[in-house]
Structure 1
């Protein structure tokens, strides 16, 4: 999928027919009133000179296709002049899988939308019910099929740490979504935001959020699932903001959660190689040049953990031309010969 510069326009909780227990889009997005066509025109006029030709406008936050049709059309019409001059290359919207209809998709396509993101969250009906989603898993595959029929790129969003969800349930969701072959996915561990139903459940002890370690470990397993299917993971964790940070009551909120999860994947993959290494060895792992920091881990956490786990005398990370996510085990002796 082409990765153009994205200009986000938030329509918080606009169009959502249900109040999910974890959701307060106004806090998450930092936007507290409905967006108008005038707002869209102003925002794009200000932002496009900095974004460059062909940027992608993204309506995020609410369920765009559940907004009244007239208001959908007004927002899309506001983008129209920028599409015609090619200042904007395309539009993407975020919505729910139970609001996908042929009539709606025809409107979106005419309005320049080429990517639709579906907030699936889980493929476990018990989890969806406990989360107040208002739909079951049965609506997801037909929605994806209809989007494909109309030619849209499809991004699927899932969550971990939801009420009634287990790690096994979350992994089954990941494999089920991967089987639909989306063009990309987003992974959002659940955080408890002040003012939500989930905050009340956390306060009375009926809901226990994931710890940061739990979210990182599970996130790494889920990321591996999508890597094996060559499905891009576009984001892990909520976009950090000052307002969101002040509103999080509990849960695995971290401004660099994606980096933690990717780093854990590298640690997991390194373990398989180090199982054959003799304790006390001087060990060298090679990764792609842009992946050294991920293999090393924040504050050298991967290096320290692997050294202790396998009783290594030393562990060095070096860079070599290779694919992302690839790791090679080298002997320190052969590396010393190369360096001399």
Structure 2
């Protein structure tokens, strides 16, 4: 999931709706609105600090609905960022709403060197979208995705699990519909209840129950596997740690290393598949992985080893350089 950004958060700018789950000043840790001048200054400093690594990074605008900004404001941000593409940045990435994409705005983005557009789809169930105040439909997600791809931009899609009114089935269906759109990248965010949101009121009234941590980990691990099997890169799972996330959070499947937990769970599934496929009787087993995958197979706080022991396998995990990364072998 390695992906580098020099990111600027513009909380609620351009947002036409206040979604049930959203308090972006808490989520991003940003309280003040960044100016185009501050964008230029930060990018200038990043070029000096990063050196050649700048070529591995993108300039990114997250947090609001970038293409729903007043045109002058949007262009001012783009003008601040575009000159730094000549310094080696790989492109400009931005996030926006599906109903804020049309041919005119895509022409502007192309003019200023934008390379990637991410859509906050969140769900592909119209009932769930309505319950959570999204203000757009699943059809608009599809329509915007087609326009973005047709214009030659890299398409990113964002989904959420455990939204108000959703279920395991609707979450899976959302993922499968997003796969059909063939995005280049995906982000998966389990729903967290944050203070100051409509969702926090629903939770206090007993009308909303978030996923447990391990329900979210299990689902997201499975979805990651499915997306990547389709050749779609999962570049983020779970909210970033830091900022005011922990302070503003009331409940939900939050963990500062949520993505790591999901990777651990994927390796546990692979180990179980190997044991099942080889009809291995319970007892002592030795599993092999690439050395770079040792911690993923062992699991955080040895959770995977403990889980295998609970079902009857006393496992030893060995790193071997001749084992392909991402795979588990029976030794």
In the superposition, the TM-score normalised over structure 2's length comes to 0.94
Output the CA distance in 1 between the equivalents of 2:266 and 2:245. Answer: 27
8 Å CA contact 1:5, 1:51 repeated in 2: no
Output the CA distance in 2 between the equivalents of 1:279 and 1:241. Answer: 42
Output the CA distance in 2 between the equivalents of 1:221 and 1:71. Answer: 40
Equivalent positions of 1:101-180 (< 5 A) are 101-180=102-181
Structure 1: gaps (5+ residues): 331-340
Partner of 2:295: 293
- Residue by residue over 1:75-107, the C-alpha shift from the partner in whole angstroms, topping out at 9 and shown as x without a partner, is 111123323x32433211111111110100010
For the residue of structure 2 that corresponds to 1:119, the secondary structure is strand
Compared with structure 1, are the counterparts of its residues 176 and 322 closer, same or farther at alpha carbon in structure 2 (3 Å cutoff)? farther
Compared with structure 1, are the counterparts of its residues 216 and 288 closer, same or farther at alpha carbon in structure 2 (3 Å cutoff)? same
Partner of 2:28: 29
Output the CA distance in 2 between the equivalents of 1:242 and 1:69. Answer: 29
Partner of 2:39: 40
1:4 positional shift: 6.6
Partner of 1:334: none
Partner of 1:319: 319
1:221 positional shift: 1.6
Partner of 1:336: none
8 Å CA contact 2:3, 2:235 repeated in 1: no
1:35 positional shift: 2.3
8 Å CA contact 2:217, 2:262 repeated in 1: yes
Equivalent positions of 1:205-244 (< 5 A) are 205-244=206-245
For the residue of structure 2 that corresponds to 1:138, the secondary structure is helix
- Residue by residue over 1:213-238, the C-alpha shift from the partner in whole angstroms, topping out at 9 and shown as x without a partner, is 11111111211211221211101100
8 Å CA contact 2:30, 2:243 repeated in 1: no
8 Å CA contact 1:66, 1:95 repeated in 2: yes
Compared with structure 1, are the counterparts of its residues 35 and 178 closer, same or farther at alpha carbon in structure 2 (3 Å cutoff)? same
8 Å CA contact 2:29, 2:243 repeated in 1: no
Partner of 2:15: 16
- Residue by residue over 1:25-79, the C-alpha shift from the partner in whole angstroms, topping out at 9 and shown as x without a partner, is 1111111232221121122122221123434210010010000111111111112
Compared with structure 1, are the counterparts of its residues 122 and 283 closer, same or farther at alpha carbon in structure 2 (3 Å cutoff)? same
The structure whose Rg is larger is 1
In the superposition, the TM-score normalised over structure 1's length comes to 0.92
Partner of 2:60: 58
Would you say how many aligned residue pairs link Structure 1 and Structure 2?
325
For the residue of structure 2 that corresponds to 1:44, the secondary structure is helix
Partner of 1:69: 71
8 Å CA contact 1:288, 1:319 repeated in 2: yes
For the residue of structure 2 that corresponds to 1:89, the secondary structure is coil
Output the CA distance in 2 between the equivalents of 1:46 and 1:188. Answer: 30
Compared with structure 1, are the counterparts of its residues 288 and 103 closer, same or farther at alpha carbon in structure 2 (3 Å cutoff)? same
Partner of 1:333: none
Instruction: Return the structure number with greater relative CO, CA threshold 8 A, min gap 6.
Output: 2
For the residue of structure 2 that corresponds to 1:16, the secondary structure is coil
RMSD of Structure 2 on Structure 1 (CA): 1.5
**Higher mean C-alpha deviation, range 32-41 or range 94-103:** 32-41
Compared with structure 1, are the counterparts of its residues 36 and 150 closer, same or farther at alpha carbon in structure 2 (3 Å cutoff)? same
Partner of 1:279: 282
Output the CA distance in 2 between the equivalents of 1:158 and 1:255. Answer: 19
For the residue of structure 2 that corresponds to 1:22, the secondary structure is coil
Output the CA distance in 2 between the equivalents of 1:292 and 1:264. Answer: 13
Output the CA distance in 2 between the equivalents of 1:50 and 1:308. Answer: 48
